[in-house]
């Protein structure tokens, strides 16, 4: 950054699922805003490659956000870092099937990572923030947490739970000076959506282009969001004084078909 102090200078941000996709883009945006960044996730190789691609100022730690002992070990290893920004981005899409065909194991895996993971990370990192009287948590939800996406019940329900957790927790810790908000991106251009479009095209016997159009046509912008737009949105939310308990849409969902 040039001309003046970077907005996040002197702060440390922890981004879960930071080894790939949106997490890596969020890490890049926060780094550009002057933060020191810790990326965490399950895949050590991806974390290493992303950290070295992003350059100095980024460190990585392996952690499975769905496992309490793994999250506690992460918090302990970062005790000296004064993490004051927590971005809970790690998440999985889960099965694509009618609810009656979804196994209990698949259901639990989505909730363990998408919801329990956010709970465990907040539980581990909030006490230090509330004790200091400052900090910001941003949970990556999804427009699927507000508009139904057929055959993705566990994912949609898990993201609705993330939004509920966000607004409730905001009221609990807001008075201490810590903000909690969520960001709900519409479909983001990248490997996850490409896989979705391929599966949808196979399922419906249509083309990849038609499957893509069916998704994109129900986004407010009429196009996919970019990973960099998601990163920039997280940076912008951190610069909005007084933002607490909000869920912000990036290209809101319009109607489900
Ligand atoms: P991705 O699969 O590229 O990244 C998810 C990351 O989470 C990976 O790095 C993975 O290793 C990590 N992860 C998975 N399980 C984990 C666990 N148990 N512990 C720690 N890390 C774990 O997906 P993405 O598209 O970058 O999605 C990131 C987030 O954004 C997710 O929460 C997703 O639901 C949400 N989202 C994505 C889109 C989209 O279109 N891609 C849209 C809206 C919301």
| CA 5 / ligand 1 centre spacing (Å) | 31
C-alpha distances in angstroms, 106 versus 40, 53, 161?
23, 33, 17
Known catalytic residues are 155
139 lines ligand 1 (CB under 6 A): no
Helix axis angle, 153-173 to 117-132, nearest 10°: 10
Centre of ligand 1 from the C-alpha of residue 55, in Å: 22
Q: Could you tell me if the CB of 27 is within 6 A of ligand 1?
A: no
| Whether the predicted interface score ipTM is above 0.85 | yes
Long-range pairs for 162-166: beta carbons < 8 A, 24 or more residues apart: 162/88, 162/114, 162/115, 162/118, 163/247, 165/115, 165/118, 165/119, 165/122, 165/139, 166/139, 166/141, 166/245, 166/247
> Is the torsion defined by CA of 238, 117, 159, 60 positive or negative?
positive
Instruction: Report all structural domains of the chain as residue ranges with CATH numbers, in order of start.
Output: 3-187+225-250 (3.40.50.720)
The tens-digit pLDDT sequence of the chain (257 residues) is 445 799 999 999 999 999 999 999 999 999 999 999 999 999 999 999 999 999 998 999 999 999 999 999 999 999 999 999 999 999 999 999 999 999 999 999 999 999 999 999 999 999 999 999 999 999 999 999 998 888 999 999 999 999 999 999 999 999 999 999 999 999 999 998 999 999 989 989 999 999 999 889 889 999 999 999 999 999 999 999 999 999 999 998 876 54
């Amino acid at each position: 950054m040039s001309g003046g102090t970077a907005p996040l200078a002197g702060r440390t941000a922890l981004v879960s699922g930071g080894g790939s996709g949106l997490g890596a883009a969020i890490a890049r945006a926060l780094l550009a805003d002057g933060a020191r960044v810790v990326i965490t996730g399950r895949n050590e190789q991806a974390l290493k490659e992303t950290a070295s691609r992003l350059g100095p100022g980024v460190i990585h730690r392996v952690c499975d956000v769905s496992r309490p002992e793994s999250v506690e070990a992460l918090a302990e290893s970062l005790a000296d870092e004064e993490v004051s920004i927590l971005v809970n981005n790690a998440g999985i899409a889960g099965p694509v099937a009618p609810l009656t065909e979804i196994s209990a194991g698949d259901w639990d895996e989505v909730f363990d990572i998408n919801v329990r993971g956010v709970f465990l990370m907040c539980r581990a990192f909030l006490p230090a923030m509330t004790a200091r009287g400052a900090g910001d948590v941003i949970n990556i939800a999804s427009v699927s947490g507000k508009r139904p996406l057929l055959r993705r019940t566990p994912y949609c329900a898990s993201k609705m739970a993330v939004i509920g957790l966000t607004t409730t927790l905001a009221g609990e810790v807001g008075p201490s000076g810590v903000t909690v908000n969520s960001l709900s991106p519409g479909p983001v251009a990248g490997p996850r959506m490409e896989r979705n479009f391929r599966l949808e095209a196979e399922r419906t016997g249509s083309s990849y282009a038609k499957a893509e159009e069916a998704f994109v046509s129900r986004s407010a912008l009429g196009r996919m969001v970019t990973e960099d737009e998601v990163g920039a949105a997280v940076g912008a939310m951190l610069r909005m004084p007084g933002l607490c308990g909000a869920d912000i849409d990036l290209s809101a969902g319009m109607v489900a078909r």
